[in-house]
Amino acid sequence: MLIIEVKDGESIDRALKRYKNKHRKVGLIQELRRRKEFVKPSVTRRKEVLKAEYINQKYRVGE
């Protein structure tokens, strides 16, 4: 659970903005989505390899 202490004289909007930033940095939503279903390690590795190949092709086009 995230706890944000509101400082003296700080507006509620500013505190809410700090909460949202902290929430995003923690990555709670991404972790929940990742745990929703099991993905085999081989499938994860295959995705990484395909992504690396795509990025390599993207930057090699200009040469």
pLDDT digits (tens, 9 = 90+) for 24-36: 888 888 889 999 9
DSSP classification of residue 6: P
Question: Rg of the Cα trace of the chain?
Answer: 20
- Is pLDDT above 80 for 23? yes
Q: Where residue 16 falls among pLDDT bands split at 50, 70, 90? A: very high
pLDDT at res. 44: 95
- One-letter amino acid identity for 15? A
pLDDT at res. 63: 67
Q: Count the Cβ atoms, other than its own, within 10 Å of residue 17.
A: 12
> 47 versus 6: which is more confidently predicted?
47
